[in-house]
Structure 1
Amino acid sequence: MNYGSLSDLGQNMMLRRQGAGLKTSLSTLTTELTTGRRENVSDYVRGDFGPLAALERSVKRLDGFALGRDALSLRVTGVQTSLGAMQDTVATFGTDLIGAASLEQPGVLDAKLANAPERFNQVVSYLNAQVSGQYLFSGVASDRKPLPDGAELLTHIRNIAMTATDASDFVTQVNSWFDDSGGGFDTLAYNGAAQAQSGVAISEAHTIGLPVKADDGAIRSMLRDLAIAAVVSEGTLPMSDMEKRAVLSSVGEGLIASEQALISMRRDTGVTEQLLSEADVAGRVERGLLDGAISKITSADPYETASALEAVQHQIETLYVLTARTSQLRLSDYLR
């Protein structure tokens, strides 16, 4: 009769293999319990990484949109702040000029007009604002400063005043300088791009842009009226009190219209801010769902891991007991 049995050496080797396997399992489970991540994702997905790869691609896409939104949000906030500052600068100035021009009291009008150059320089500085090294009102050429400094711009308007024959000719020339295509503003002042920023993707479903530029018609009109007021305040162009009141009354009406245009721009910019905020919330929600799906694949359940770890520890203890007992067996004990 044949008997199947293991020799002492074979039994010892078997116990060693079992011990090594249990130690490996113990190390793996300990690491998973500590880090919360599966050590061998391949076994869990049975070699099919397709779903996990698709989830990770979606996360990278969402992260790309999030980075774009963050950068654009800074610019939109900068635009909104600058528009608000411009509105504050021209607010009530138009009505003050109209009111003062209606009075036959030159001193009152001069007092209202005194800070016109400062207002002009402030508006130009707001239009030259930049965020993270990018100019806000240069269109797609955000690396270029859209306008020269206010002092340089006023120099061009003063030159017109010195060659103008009268107040009417001065206003006509200034209007042409600012408004005509290919005129002085286009060739000597505006240095940004003709194309506004548009089509910036903030999510799969939405694209937005920054349409306001320093060469927009409403911006030009505001700069023109402030420039006229600034030069008139300096007395560069001789004019009668009646001519002065007429010019500044027209300037005041233009500035009132400019303030309304700024309010409209701020409203549109506010809509853009709202779209960015909504897209950001939706992106965070989707990101959370994707993270949860990835976590189910890559994360180790702490309760299951702890239970498995306890079971392996028990097996190791049992193996140690068996190993100790078999190592103490003697032939005399077996033959009794």
Structure 2
Amino acid sequence: MNTHGLGDLAQTFLLQRRGAALKSEMARLNQELASGQVSDVKSVLAGNVSYLSDIEADMRTMSAYKIATTEAAQFADSAQNALNRMDTSAGTLSNALLTVSSIAVGPVLDQLSVDATHEFEAIVSALNTSSGGRSIFAGTATDTPATTNAGSILADLRAAIAGQTGVSNIADAVTQWFDDPAGFRNSAYTGSDNAIAPFQIAEDRQVSVDLKADQTVFRDLLKGAALAAIAADDTLGLSAAGQQEILEIAGSELIRAKDQLTATQGNLGSAQARIDAIATQNAARATALEFAKGALLQADPYETATQLEAVQFQLQSLYTVTARMSDLSLVNFVR
């Protein structure tokens, strides 16, 4: 009977190969035990990775929607803060204008016009608010301010009403300039005629934040503040009684504009609530996808630990056999 054995060199190579295989297997099992997921995805899914691909595609989509909802929330929050600043300016100024005493003299009335100029500047500053480098009240022209500066607007207004006399004529001229497309919109509004595109924050959900500085509510705010700001102009030649009447008209105009502003704030608040609600839904969907992927690729910790223990035992046994073989010699064999 013929017997075939392995030479010493062949045995050495065989032991080294087996040792490398066991080390690789132990590294894989250690990784699975630490991460909780299998390392050989194709083997676990039997080559059918389409379901996993769909899950990962949905996860990437949800990640994109998370960015979109964050941007939308930031944009809407910045817009609401700007509206709040306008509301504060309009409220402060209208209260001052409508409570002025009927016996107020020139310096008091002049100071009200100075205060009105400051509040006008505050409203213009709020209209030129930006969020993330994008102008909020300029429509699609997000790379430019919504209006020129307050000083330029008042200068253009003064030029437009030059030569007007009498309270009603002056008030009508101011109203016409702010309402006429050839007036405020042409010389002061620097934004676009088109509204900014809605934010796509879910597969079939959009939220619009359509706010432009040339909309009626904002023009009326500016109109009331500007009318009060120019009341003290010497070129208008108004008496103290005329100034007071102009200031009262401006105060009433601001009250009406403030009511419109409150409605605008409410509409924007509803949009903010929708953004928050959809963001919550998106987060829940993203979490569900993560669980689904985890369940699909989850490694059984008990089975993995058992396999790891078996591999460690095999490796220790291999080292023991290798050590004993290295001690073999002819002298020991014939002893």
Q: 1:332 to 1:244 in 2, by over 3 A?
A: closer
User: For 2:236, what is the secondary structure of its paired residue?
Assistant: coil
The size of the alignment, in residue pairs, is 332
- Separation in 2, partners of 1:170, 1:20: 95
Measure the CA separation in 1 of the matches of 2:16 and 2:242.
109
Moved more, 306-315 or 160-169: 160-169
SS class of match (1:210): coil
Amino acid at match of 2:6: D
1:79-114: CA deviations, max 9, x gaps? 01110011111114224323326x243355445444
Once residues 111 and 189 of structure 2 are traced to their aligned partners in structure 1, the CA distance between those partners, rounded to angstroms, is 31
Displacement after TM superposition at 1:222 (Å): 0.9
For the residues of structure 2 that align with 1:330 and 1:299, how far apart are their CA atoms? 50
1:304 aligns with 2:303: yes
Q: Give distance in 2, aligned partners of 1:15 and 1:224.
A: 92
CA distance 1:28–1:319, change in 2 (3 Å): same
**Distance of aligned partners of 1:292 and 1:44 in 2 relative to their CA distance in 1, 3 Å threshold:** same
1:49-198 pair list within 5 angstroms: 49-100=49-100, 103-106=102-105, 109-180=109-180, 182-198=181-197
CA displacement at 1:334 relative to structure 2: 10
Please say which of residues 215-224 and 228-237 is displaced more in the overlay.
228-237
| Equivalent runs, 1:196-211 vs 2, <5 Å | 196-211=195-210
**Is contact 2:129–2:136 with CA below 8 Å preserved after alignment?**
yes
How far, CA to CA, are the matches of 1:78 and 1:246 in structure 2? 36
The range that moved more, 54-63 or 310-319, is 310-319
State TM-score, norm by structure 1: 0.88
* Inter-CA distance 6–290: structure 2 relative to 1 (3 Å threshold): farther
Q: Which runs of 5+ in 1 are unaligned?
A: none
Q: Determine the C-alpha separation between the residues in 2 that align with 1:109 and 1:100.
A: 8
Aligned mates of 2:184, 2:16 — CA distance in 1: 88
Which SS does the other structure have where 2:232 is aligned?
helix
SS at match of 1:232: coil
Helix, strand or coil: the match of 2:256? helix
1:240 & 1:19 partners in 2: Cα distance?
105
* Letter of the structure 2 residue corresponding to residue 49 of structure 1: V
Q: Unaligned 5+ residue runs, structure 2?
A: none
Deviation of 1:280 after TM superposition, in Å, equals 1.5
The alpha carbon displacement at 1:257 in A equals: 1.2
Give the CA deviation at 1:163.
2.1
Which deviations, in whole Å up to 9, do the C-alpha atoms of 1:217-255 show, x marking residues without a partner?
A: 011011011111101134431123443333322221111
Matched residue, 1:237: 236
Identity %: 28
2:6 pairs, out of 5, 8, 19, with 8
Structure 2 residue identity aligned to 1:117: T
For residues 5 and 16 of structure 2, the distance between their equivalents in structure 1, rounded to whole angstroms, comes to 14
1:243-322 correspondence to structure 2 within 5 Å: 243-322=242-321
Residues 273-326 of structure 1: per-residue CA shift (max 9 Å, x gap): 111111222111111111122223445444432221111111223344455567
Deviates more, 1:243-252 or 1:9-18: 9-18
Distance 1:332 1:135 in 2: 92
Shift of 1:18: 3.8
